[in-house]
Structure 1
Amino acid sequence: MASSSTPMVNGHPQERPQVFINFRGEELRKNFVSHLEDALKDEDINYFIDTMADPGDEMVNLFNHIEESKVALAVFSERYSESNWCLDELVKIMERVDEKKLRIFPIFFHVKVGDVKYQKGKFGENLRKGEGRDLCNMDKWKKALQSVSRIVGLRLEADSDRTESNFISQVVEKLKTVIALIEREEGTNMVSTSMSSMNSIGNASSGDILQPIAPFPSNGMKEVLKQLEEKIDFKSEETQIVGIVGMPGTGKTALAEMHHQEWQYKFLFNEFFRGFREKSKDDYDWVKNTLLNAQLQRTGNVKIFVVLDDVSDKKQLEFLRTNPGLIKKGSKIVITTRDKGLIADLVEDTYVVPGLNDKEALQLFSHHAFNGQDCDHPPENFIEMSKMFVEYAGGNPLALQELGNELCGENEAHWRRRLETLPHCCNENIGRELRTSYDDLTEMQKHAFLDIACFFRSEEEDYVQHLLDTNSGEAGSEVRDLADKFMINISAGRVDMHNLFCTLGKEIGSSVEKNLGKSRLWNRQDACEALVLKKGTVSARGVFLDMSKIGKGIALERKALIKMPNLRYLKFFDSGCPRQCEPIDGKVNLPEGLEFPLKEIRYLHWLKFPLEELPPDFNPENLIDLRLPYSKIKRVWRETKDTPNLKWVDLTHSTNLNDISALSNAISLRRLSLEGCTKLDKLPEGIENMKSLAFLNLRGCTRLLSLPDINNLISLKTLILSDCKMFNEFQVISDNLEYLHLDGTAIKGLPPSIQNLGKLIVLNLKDCNELESLPDCLDKLKALQELILSGCSRLTNFPHVEEIMENLQILLLDGTSIKELPSTLLHSGNNSIDQLALQRIQLRMTGLSLLRRLCLSRNDKISSLQSSISQLYHLKWIDLTYCSNLTSLSTLPPNLQCLDAHGCTSLRTVASPLASLLPSTEQVPSSFIFTNCEKLEHVAMNEIMCYAHNKSRLISDALNRQNKGLAFEVLVGTCFPGIEVPAWFNHKASGAVIKPELPRHWSESGFVGIALCAIVSFHDYKIQNNNVMVKCICDFKNAIGTSSASFSNCDVGGLSEAGNEQCTVKSTHVFIGFTSWLNINKSREVGLKEGCIPAKASIEFKVTDGTCEAANCEVLKCGFSFVCESDNGSWNANADANPMIYESNNGALEANAEATPVIVETNTGSSDANVVANPVVEGEIQGGEQKLSKSKSNQRKPALQVCLDILPTL
């Protein structure tokens, strides 16, 4: 801008709010600004503009005009930075903005926001070459330029198709909106001086977006408004007070403003009282008086509609509580706040403003990050990084807007660097808004917030409450208060925090506190400096050190902790390997021992603690959680100490530990884990004092013989004695046990007192090789859901059962010598069993209507399945692995998801059709595995192929009807011995790569999926990691070779073997997988707009063992085909004709118009086929025993699962 002159006032010289225009006169005065002036005059807007080029002593006058103005219009252009005057005015303007006495509206005219913010390009060159500029002024100018660039404005690019007149019209409309807002505020004496309340120009009050320049996604806002209107019934004559709540930046004020504008016409008196956070008590009284006057000035009961915006203190609403006469019947009051606890006693209902969904968030971020383009997606090379920023923002509009502005104009390298700093470096504007919420907290709430942000994010709520404070007993209320303020959220019993607040918390926690040092040392550098260089101070509250990031290790001096007497949380951990496969020596060493005079310590985690015991001066009075896994300790401490608050102890894999008597006074202990303590041979008698102990894990304590003679651990629910190989005598130590694991022990029987465990849910006796009998009282265990006896080879008889065990779901008897089950066990009243594993037992299907899992693994006497198995509609998983005498599968249940017949070396035939298919839209991916079934006939292979193919089409049709997306994964798959790609594959190739030409107009031919085939040579391959997978890399290109859609490491099929036994695949096998085409179609739809329909494909197959490419395995051949939808969108799953896919003479793929697709036989009269996918199972098979997860539901009776090893006839 040049210099000062008289203000142009256009009809209302001093009455309307003044707009001060800041611009480079020599560049813009005779073009853009002159046109802008005309538009402002036409709209009767009061503005001030310099008309004289007289620098000198007029700067003071200019500053006066800035102070008189309510709005500043800063027009940035390429030569703006040449002018000292422009820059000085900008500094003054930003000072007024910081004082919240002025609103600024930036315009970027033919210059990029990034160039202004970071002084780059011509704009930066002009700034640096200016004459007579000292460093002091330069620093002020740069700071002002950076600050103003973070504010949402309007942009007109030099190469934009947009006309200047159209752009000026938009500027004027924005100014009119702001001026109207100011006039309204001044009219009510409730002026919101926050810069962020600029309505559509910036954010709404206190950071809530009202209508950013990149419009709040209209569909999303409409839906949000609809949801809010459901909370407020304007047709009702009842009085309603409703709160709009949410974290900063979510758009509370914007939503309230739009809601108010839409419904204010229905009320004689309506008002929007803005910005309560910044108001004094006098302002609250004024609101009360305004409402009283409204009633006095009108006769009768006057309904009012009032919005009280950004309430931050209960005192601000006291006038509502103490003056009930203010609110007449039928009135509607809306209160916006960040703290729903403030209004809980006033409101009838609250509406939590939701975050933007992924699509809306990416749209808003892209608009601000890429120069205001109206785009739904960022440029291709920025897509992945944009998604990362959007994910971090968590749907918060303010964060999306500010991060976009910050990154606008930056290159990829800058974006990558910013991503690295994102978790611990907050954006300035975002941080400013969030900080106001932090500043509102009490000191105790601040401590709780910072502790969670730095140390305890995603921990259980109960655990966090106990850790935060043990003295005041108010930690629980502090956690709840933070949740009410939306600074944390509690979901599924866990405390979590939005990424934005977490970053703010880490910034504050690691900052120097009143010259006392840093309070929370969560990063490696700060922690090492505090411990090694002894820079810790009295303000240090927590130190967390990830030992995987400190190289060779560190040695601490004896007095390393002396300077941190207030330390509460100390943790040495390894984020690299949770199982600690490295040598036992840790990376933090104590060559001189350690002094530990920390009376405030509540949380001590020290992986591989190097001493034989905790130091003598260690005071555990406030200790809550002690974890020393993989340590060298022989005992916890020398003598018994008072531990009134100790609740969690983990000493797992401390192989030298032989004495835990020092914990006898831990009367509040809830959880004790001693797994892998191989020198521990007994528990102290003092364990009977642990009345709160709920979980005791002694797994792998190989020297433990028995438990103490006690029976009053009244809280104990879980007892784990698995693999205590010398443990030979069990006695009940708590009648409240729910989970009892005695697997792998040397017990010979159970005591009769086991019948007292009326709450027992799981009884695991797997591989108790010495177990000879069970007491005849198991039917007294009314809550029992799982009874696992797998591998109890000496167990010959199942105990007598008189009463129905109605809750029993899982009964695993494989590996036992039991030949008969009590008739009452499988009584019709027991049809809750959904998982059954048997051996040497004749099984009847009656009473098993809810059976979901059937394991017949290694049953060398079974030759076929009963036809009644087809009536088991809930049966989804059958394990027939290694049934060496199985010759035929006569039928299968209709809803089968996984059939594993690996190693069925005698299997020849299957039924035709293999199974009925139910046309359900809820079908899920399925797998049929026939590896090493060397005698399988070609007809059987064809039947299996048809079944899998038809089922894949059923799923694809359903997905198309529902328009559901699906990841590029196998829907239905199979594998079987063979050397040829089935004849119906219309694209074949030798080797591991196939490059089919896609048919012309394929996108209009109703394809619903693709079939992939690989012929793999194994040569007696021994499966590594018990896993072999065939994967592929797919790349679809358009006619000119540009990639249109790509998918890496897509599973085609495979085999997974549980347990330690190594599986061998003996010969060449065919792997086939059917997958959905929906996501490819979505790429095609985008391509149609861009003229780049995929015309070519490149598919490369490979074999992996789950971690890397498998050695000695070779893909010999491969194939590719389309799968067509049925003619009318539906089909008869049980049609007589088999599915067929064929290629016409011109090479285009066609579907049989008269029947569902049919697999065509080869010249030899066979059709090599089968489909492989990942086994769709919910558990693992180990040595014939099915380890299965179950779905426990209180809504229905559970179902039975069966595993049979040596079943004569089924």
Structure 2
Amino acid sequence: MDYMKWAVTVIGLLLPLLIILYKLWLGRRISNRANNVDNASRTLDSIASASGSADSDTLLPLPFGEYEVFMNFRGPDTRYQITDILFRFLVNLKIRTFKDDDELRKGEGIWPNLVEAIEQSKIYVTIFSENYAYSKWCLKELAVIVEHQERNQGCIILPIFYMVDPRDVRHQSGPYLRAFRQHENFFDEETIRIWKAALNKVGALKGWHVKSNDEQGAIADLVTGIVWSHLSKNNFLETDKLIGMDDHIEVVKERLALDSPCMTIVGIHGIGGIGKTTIAKAVYNKVSPQFDRCSFVEDVREMLQQRDGIIILQKHIISDILRVKNFAESIANNSAGIRIIKDRISRFKFLIVLDDVDEKFRFDKILGNIKNFVSGSRFIITSRNVKVLSTLTDDCKLYKVLEMNHSHALQLFCNHSFKQDSPPSSYETLSNDIVSVAAGLPLTLKVVGSLLFQEEKVIWEDKLRQLKEIPEEEVVERLKISYDTLNEEAKQIFLDIACFFIGEDKDLPSYMWSDCDFFPISNINILRQRSMIEIASHLLFHMHDQLRDMGREIVRQENTRHPWKRSRIWSKGKALDMLCNQKLTLLYKLWSGRRSSHTSISVDNASTQSDSNPLQLRYLDIKARMLNDDFSNYVPGLRSLRVSFKYSGRMPNFSVDNLVIVELFRLRGT
């Protein structure tokens, strides 16, 4: 009994003190809350800060109109659960996200700002919870979101059903029915109808149903991936209009076999400037939403030329897939990068595009064993060299990009030269002529079209004449990348083909190249792998016109003022000029005082010649009316000779010490 009296006495003494402390605590909380509400009315982003869901340094106020994602949810139900987890993921990726909170608003004055934030966003994440429908703010926002999305098809709504049956949202049953019974006492029928229609539409969308035993972090990660993919899709090709891409996209998608569970690599190859990167980007934009994670790496060739290029490439891929930049900074060597890729990257269903790889690219040294990656993942790799792609794996599916047809080429050219799809009538002939010279190469069409934009017709006419003789410098530099990687023997063969042998049988010059130790079998194969030549039907050499012009420009640059000092002469006009001016004693003798109709020369050491200093020709193709002289002292190193001449009773005398090919043709009428 004494104990009870003592306890009552102590409680009586402490109770007033407890009441005072409680009032002080409550007053401070109310004051803090009032401050938070005031901040919310001044800047909407401070609402997210007040919820305590992210570090303060990541929640700096953003001007209206700069948000990308708008989160619509009821705070008491989800604030410290899926909402905060998802918000933190988005903020860490620097995705500008507005996180609304219906509990932290002060009056209706903030509503115009909310509407503005909704209209400026691209993606809406609606988190439906059990008591969501009791909030008029949530319902009002949802109605605006639906209306805005209907007017702007580029916007998307991503619904999350948090501990609530999607059918209750869609049909306003269960807790949503009870909520609307309350709303009917305060709102008119039209408002109720609009809210229900919005719930019905969004509730029918495919989303994520979060249950009590689900890993909310994993679901938030999936939602973040969709957000990231959608934003990347919107921003990837904004600056370039796609023309003639539909067929390419469909072929590459078919090779990707997106419905197959297997891991697949698709290799896109073709000459420089043909549009491989554009096709890869277009396909990436089309299919990236179907993957958990995506990465597009441009200019892999240049990246690997840098010091620690492999590590730089690995960091790029790891940062894109894991979406954590600091994590990749810990990579010290390529082995560490491969280990991270195997342990962390390989678990995702991903799409990785590696653009413009060359011989320095080694899949296993950069990404590890291809068998480590989960089924459903896809690689798209572009290269000028088909061998680089074909050696990746036996299952690599190849796609060669060919030149544009004339219709698409003309449209692309006009987009750059006139900013429209077709030329004005006064420029129609000129435009078609320039497009024909470009031979369907998108790079040339874009470069020349941009140069001629808003230029006078006389400039167009001059440019056309120039293009027929000299290709555009920027185009040459891009195409020359493949040439520069060749060994010296392959370069000589390429230049010979460009100057003399397009449309010719491959076997005849191969005898000459073999005798010159140019190793034609292996080097012709190298040229084919790099898409620099083709062996057409009947074993004839074929080369894209722009590559031919690039090769001839390389020869022209050997000496731009004195053609006779170049290594090769294929122009009839320049050969005749040399004949007329006796620049080469040999040609002067072959000319015999009458004009030749055809002259082609390949020279090892071209210079002004005299009888005591014979010309070091290895290939000569000439037509002449008369050949009556003794030429054995003039071309001692000649390997291949093709002569068409009028027969006068005796054959011309050539040195045969080094000849491996002789073709003699008698002119008609002789």
For the superposition of Structure 1 and Structure 2, which TM-score range results when normalised by the shorter chain?
0.5 to 0.7
Q: Superposed, which structure 2 residues align to 1:792-831 within 5 Å? A: none
- Report whether the alignment pairs 1:237 with 2:283: no
Q: Check 1:442–1:212 CA distance in 2 against 1; reply closer, same or farther (3 A cut).
A: farther
Pair 1:627–1:399, CA change in 2 (3 A): same
Q: Which amino acid aligns with 1:305?
A: L
How is 1:392-541 mapped onto 2 (pairs within 5 angstroms)? Answer: 392-472=437-517, 474-492=519-537, 493-512=539-558, 517-523=565-571, 526-527=574-575
Distance 1:602 1:503 in 2: 22
- Residue correspondence of structure 1 range 653-664 to structure 2 within 5 A: 653=667
> Deviation string for 1:528-586 (max 9, x for gaps)?
6756667679xxxx999998xx99759xxxxxx9x976369x9xxxxxxxxxxxxxxxx
- Distance in 2 of aligned mates of 1:236 and 1:405: 42
Determine if contact 1:306/1:334 at 8 Å carries over to the other structure: yes
Q: Give the partner amino acid of 1:566.
A: N
Taking the aligned partners of 1:242 and 1:546, their CA distance within structure 2 comes to: 55
Q: TM-score, normalization: structure 2?
A: 0.54
Tell me if 1:297 matches 2:344.
yes
Choose the corresponding residue for 1:614, options 630, 641, 649: 630
Does the 8 Å contact 2:646/2:666 carry over to 1? yes
Give the aligned partner of residue 332 of structure 1.
378
The alpha-carbon deviation at position 281 of structure 1 amounts to 5.5
Deviations 1:57-94 (A, max 9, x none): xxxxxxxxxxxxxxxxxxxxxxxxxxxxxxxxxxxxxx
Which residue in 2 is equivalent to 1:256?
A: 280
Cα deviation per residue 1:897-921 (whole Å; 9 max; x = unaligned)? Answer: xxxxxxxxxxxxxxxxxxxxxxxxx
Residue 234 of structure 1 aligns to which amino acid in structure 2?
Answer: L
Cα displacement (A) at 1:216: 1.8
The Cα shift of 1:392 comes to 1.7
Q: 1:353 aligns with which of 401, 415, 424?
A: 401
Change (3 A) 1:606 1:390: closer
Quickly say closer, same or farther: Cα 1:603–1:429, change in 2 above 3 A.
closer
Question: Residue in 1 aligned with 2:311?
Answer: 285
Going from structure 1 to structure 2, the CA distance change for 1:268 and 1:565 (only over 3 Å counts) comes to closer
Which residue in the other structure is 1:1136 paired with? none
Write the distance in 2 (CA, Å) between the matches of 1:346 and 1:428. Answer: 34
Aligned-pair distance for 1:386?
Answer: 1.1
In the alignment, is the contact (CA less than 8 A) between 2:534 and 2:542 conserved in 1?
Answer: yes
Give 1 or 2: higher helix fraction.
2
Residue 252 (structure 2) aligns with: 228
Unaligned regions of 5+ residues in structure 2, if any? Answer: 1-42, 46-61, 69-154, 156-231, 315-333
Q: 1:309 and 1:332 mapped to 2: Cα distance?
A: 14
Alignment of 1:1151-1166 (within 5 A): none
In structure 2, the CA distance between the partners of 1:528 and 1:650, relative to structure 1 (3 Å rule), is closer
**Partner Cα distance (1:268, 1:416) in 2:** 52
Contact 1:523–1:544 (CA<8 Å) still a contact in 2? no
Aligned equivalents of 1:232, 1:536: Cα separation in 2: 59
Deviations 1:1011-1031 (A, max 9, x none): xxxxxxxxxxxxxxxxxxxxx
1:865-944 equivalence runs, <5 A: none
CA distance in 1, matches of 2:501, 2:426: 36
Q: Is the 8 A contact 2:567 2:603 kept in 1?
A: no
How far apart, CA to CA, are the structure 2 residues paired with 1:337 and 1:301?
A: 27
CA contact (8 A) 1:284 1:316 kept: no
Q: Percent identity?
A: 26
What amino acid does structure 2 have at the position aligned with 1:604?
A: L
Contact 1:457/1:496 (8 A) holds in 2: yes
| Equivalent of residue 645 in structure 1, options 634, 638, 660 | 660
CA offsets, 1:574-609, max 9 Å, x none? xxxxxxxxxxxxxxxx9xx967834x5332233226
Note if contact 2:631-2:652 (Cα within 8 Å) is conserved in structure 1. no
Q: Are the aligned partners of 2:347 and 2:373 in contact in 1 as well (CA < 8 Å)? A: no
Partners of 2:577 and 2:669 in 1: how far apart? 34
Q: Which has the higher strand share?
A: 1
Q: 1:351: Cα distance to partner?
A: 0.8
Q: Deviations over 1:860-906 (max 9, x none)?
A: xxxxxxxxxxxxxxxxxxxxxxxxxxxxxxxxxxxxxxxxxxxxxxx
- Three-state SS of the structure 2 residue aligned to 1:607 is strand
Q: 1:597 is matched with which residue?
A: 614
Mark the CA change 1:553 to 1:642 in structure 2 (over 3 Å): closer, same or farther: closer
Relative distance call for 1:615 and 1:545 in structure 2 (3 A) is closer
Offset of residue 470 of structure 1: 2.3
- Tell which deviates more after alignment, 318-327 or 402-411: 318-327
Partner of 1:832: none
Aligned 1:658-673 pairs, distance under 5 A: none
The amino acid that maps onto 1:284 is I
- Give CA deviations for 1:785-826 in whole Å, capped at 9, x if unaligned: xxxxxxxxxxxxxxxxxxxxxxxxxxxxxxxxxxxxxxxxxx
User: How many angstroms does 1:447 deviate by?
Assistant: 2.0
Q: CA deviation at 1:523?
A: 3.8
Deviations 1:613-657 (A, max 9, x none): 43232566652333242254713438x9556622x421414xxxx
* Residue of 267, 272, 276 corresponding to 2:296: 272
2:411 to 360, 363, 372: 363
Distance change in 2, residues 1:520/1:637 (3 Å): closer
Quote the Cα distance in structure 2 between the aligned partners of 1:276 and 1:544.
52
- Structure 1 CA distance for aligned equivalents of residues 495 and 587 of structure 2: 13
* Contact 2:603–2:619 under 8 Å retained in 1: no
Residues 615-624 or 449-458, more deviating: 615-624
2:493·2:518 contact (CA, 8 Å) conserved in 1?
A: no
Matched, 1:43 2:66: yes
CA contact (8 A) 1:450 1:506 kept: yes
Distance 1:454 1:465 in 2: 15
Check 1:265–1:368 CA distance in 2 against 1; reply closer, same or farther (3 A cut).
Answer: closer
CA contact (8 A) 2:274 2:441 kept: yes
Helix, strand or coil at the partner of 2:541:
strand
Mapped partners of 1:366, 1:643: distance in 2 = 53
What secondary structure, in the 3-state scheme, does the structure 2 residue paired with 1:417 have?
A: helix
For each residue in 1:252-303, what CA deviation from the matched residue of structure 2 results, as whole angstroms up to 9, or x when unmatched? 12221232233334444432222112112522234265564243237x8544
Task: In structure 2, give the amino acid aligned to 1:43.
Answer: E
User: Any idea what the Cα deviations from partners look like across 1:1081-1118, whole Å, max 9, x if unmatched?
Assistant: xxxxxxxxxxxxxxxxxxxxxxxxxxxxxxxxxxxxxx
SS of match in other structure, 2:547: helix
Give the conservation status (yes or no) of the 8 Å contact 1:301–1:328: yes
Hey, what's the Cα distance between the residues in 2 that align with 1:641 and 1:259? Answer: 58
Per the alignment, residue 566 of structure 1 pairs with 605
Q: Does 1:216 align with 2:255?
A: no
Structure 1: distance between partners of 2:478 and 2:525: 22
Shift in CA distance, 477/644, structure 1 to aligned 2, threshold 3 Å = same
Task: State the match for 2:389 in structure 1.
Answer: 343
In the superposition, relative to structure 1, how do residues 223 and 631 fare at CA in structure 2: closer, same or farther (>3 Å)? Answer: same
How many residue pairs were aligned? 418
In the alignment, the residues of structure 2 paired with residue 304 and residue 442 of structure 1 have an alpha-carbon distance, to the nearest angstrom, of 37
Pairing 1:913-1062 to 2, within 5 Å after superposition: none
Partners of 1:543 and 1:200 in 2: how far apart? 63
Q: CA RMSD in A?
A: 4.5
Within 2, Cα distance between the matches of 1:494 and 1:414?
38
